[in-house]
Structure formats: C-alpha cells, structure tokens
Amino acid sequence: GAGVSQSPSNKVTEKGKDVELRCDPISGHTALYWYRQSLGQGLEFLIYFQGNSAPDKSGLPSDRFSAERTGGSVSTLTIQRTQQEDSAVYLCASSPRGGAGHNEQFFGPGTRLTVL
C-alpha cells in the first residue's frame, strides 16, 4: 500500500525566502510528526499532531516555523525567512493509534532543504 509521501524531495532556496514542505500521511493514521535531521546528526522532533487535538509545537526551534494539518490528513510545514542553519532533511512520519506501545512510526523519504 501507499506509504508516507513528501514533496518536494529537494528544495534549494535563498536566505530570507519562505518555504512550504508537504506531507501526505498513510490513510487512516491519526498521528503525524515532523522531524528534522541535520547532516550526520540524530533526529530532532519539531511538531506532533494527533487527531483533532491541539498540536504539540514544543519542538519548533523558532517562531519562523509553523505547521498545519488540514482535515486530519495532509500537513504543511512552513519556514519563514529561511536561514542557513535551517538546512537539513525534514522528515514526516505518521502512526496509527493502537494498543499500548503500538506507536510504530512510518517515515516518508524526507525533503532535503538547502538554504544558500
């Protein structure tokens, strides 16, 4: 079946421009996560959506970052006034909500963002 998809796969932008990254989660998954991974680094949590609940934005590094999830499905991560330190791979993951401990996360291929 279809997995998590992300677009674009690569994005090169100039410092100061805004960018939008899109994530299509697996159909029926109620949980959606955004992470970023810098070159050779571990995974950094950004934001979490669960159903109709208010998102957990505690991982967003600054107010230049925002995300929304429309209709409980597609999500868009927006970075305003991009900076060079925003360069990273942005990963989206979705998860079904099942029984205890059943929180396997399915990742998309990521969007590689390069800010010049």
Interface with other proteins (CB under 8 A): 4, 31, 33, 35, 42-43, 45, 48, 50, 56, 59, 91, 93, 95, 100-101, 103-110
State the Cα angle at 49 between 48 and 51, rounded to 5°.
155
Which residues lie across from 67 on neighbouring strands?
77
At its nearest, how many Å lie between other proteins and the CB of residue 94? 12
Nearer to other proteins, 14 or 104 (CB): 104
Q: Peptide bond before 55: cis, by omega within 30 degrees of 0?
A: no
What is Dmax (Cα atoms) for the chain?
45
Q: How far apart are CA 106 and CA 92, in angstroms?
A: 8
Query: Do 33 and 25 contact (CB within 8 A), yes or no?
Result: no
Nearer to other proteins, 48 or 65 (CB): 48
Nearer to other proteins, 83 or 103 (CB): 103
At its nearest, how many Å lie between other proteins and the CB of residue 16? 28
Nearer to other proteins, 33 or 65 (CB): 33
At its nearest, how many Å lie between other proteins and the CB of residue 104? 5
